[in-house]
Structure 1
Amino acid sequence: MSKYYFEKIKRLHALAEIGLEYNTISYDVERYQEIRDICLEMLEKITRTPVADIIPVIEERNGYRTPKVDVRAIVFNEKDQILLVQEKADKLWALPGGWTDIAYSPGEVAEKECLEEAGIKVKATRLLAIMDKQKQSMPPAFEYVYKIFLLCDKETNNISIGSETCDVGWFNENELPPLSLPRNNEAQIKMMYEYKRGERIDPYFD
């Protein structure tokens, strides 16, 4: 099944959740429940993932689905190399970052993730881009995701692996390692270099 239909099923599931939260007519509630169950069954078959594992990821209990937010830190060194970490989850490489946490601003998340994943202290200084993951030629995911890219100035030079990473390093623009595509792709990193060279000024958004 194409990415288009995968996203449509997720959207239909979200609408069913909203209907279940705000509708009090028993007939309608039963139909929304049936729609939601059909969506879960289709997602199970498409992804070969048990429904029990899908529900905690895609369902919210406040009745109104909103996108999850992923923050990525952009850190360069004096040689114009970009900082990447090798994820333990798939052994592929990504910009330091992750889901936003309650009580943390996007800048604080970027700084925290750099310290936890790459052992480096940084200061978030500039918003570079806000991207809709669905519009960025990235693999389909259960979550609907907004990605925030923040430029960070390094305050220390040492780097080291963290609990979720198995390697960390600096890479040239044209010598990137195999990337963790659910987290970032080459086009996104190329865009960050355009900001570095001054070819882009204003923040990008979808």
Structure 2
Amino acid sequence: MVKKGDKLIDWAMEIQAIGQTGLAYSKDVFDTERYERLREIAAEMLAEKSGVDLDRVKGLFCNEIGYQTPKIATRAAVFREGKILLVQENEGHWSLPGGWCDVDQSPADNCVKECKEESGIEVKLDQVIAVWDHFKHHGSLHPYGITDIYYLCTPLGGQFEENIETKQAGWFSEDDLPPIFERKNSTAQIKECFKAYRSPDWQTEFD
């Protein structure tokens, strides 16, 4: 993973965005070739800096079309008796229920849906804890920005059901967290969720 603040990475992402936007709007075949090359250069820069295989970088970095905009992801911070709900990903680590926002869902509706699908728990959204820039907190090889919206939630009922995304769900105290999938939501972010849960006058955080 790579982090913002490195000029080479910032330039690579900007070049990629220019190339992608140019491909979306250019009608000239020669300009199209130039914009394609810009995307290739951006991928080569990122591969060189990150040490990741160039083909993998191209697969992640050069497959978007249209004007480049950030993607939205949602995370549900669900609390019961002072413990937070986490789901175990198939690779073994744990995270807050959540994921990409589907095109036919509002962020709020998506949060409810993802929580139910991954944990089996139905929830009511109470408050927005934070709107965080994913790249600032986790780094990324994605060519686009990602905005993560964290919601404070109340459980309404339900139980874990077998699914293709997660292996199990559980409730954890702040001082007894399992191994966290840091690329999705960091331990520090989960601790911020605990702060929001305990605070009667929480103010939404944002980057």
Please report the TM-score for the alignment, with normalisation by the length of structure 1: 0.86
Give how far 1:163 is off. 2.1
Matched ranges for 1:67-106 at <5 A? 67-78=70-81, 80-88=82-90, 90-106=91-107
Mean CA deviation greater in 146-155 or 17-26: 17-26
SS class of match (2:195): helix
Partners of 2:175 and 2:52 in 1: CA distance: 33
Confirm or deny: 8 A CA contact 1:85 1:167 kept in the other structure: yes
The CA RMSD measured in Å over matched residues stands at 2.4
Give how far 1:177 is off. 0.9
SS class of match (1:31): helix
Confirm or deny: 8 A CA contact 1:41 1:51 kept in the other structure: no
Give how far 1:149 is off. 0.3
Confirm or deny: 8 A CA contact 1:6 1:140 kept in the other structure: no
Q: How many residues align?
A: 201
Paired residue for 1:133? 134
Confirm or deny: 8 A CA contact 2:73 2:147 kept in the other structure: yes
Paired residue for 1:60? 64
Partners of 2:128 and 2:34 in 1: CA distance: 43
Partners of 1:197 and 1:125 in 2: CA distance: 13
Paired residue for 2:192? 191
Paired residue for 1:177? 178
Mean CA deviation greater in 7-16 or 109-118: 7-16
Structure 2: unaligned runs, 5 residues or longer: none
Equivalent position amino acid for 2:124 in 1:
K
Equivalent position amino acid for 1:85 in 2:
V
Partners of 1:163 and 1:130 in 2: CA distance: 27
Confirm or deny: 8 A CA contact 1:160 1:168 kept in the other structure: no
- Overall identity of the aligned pairs, in %: 36
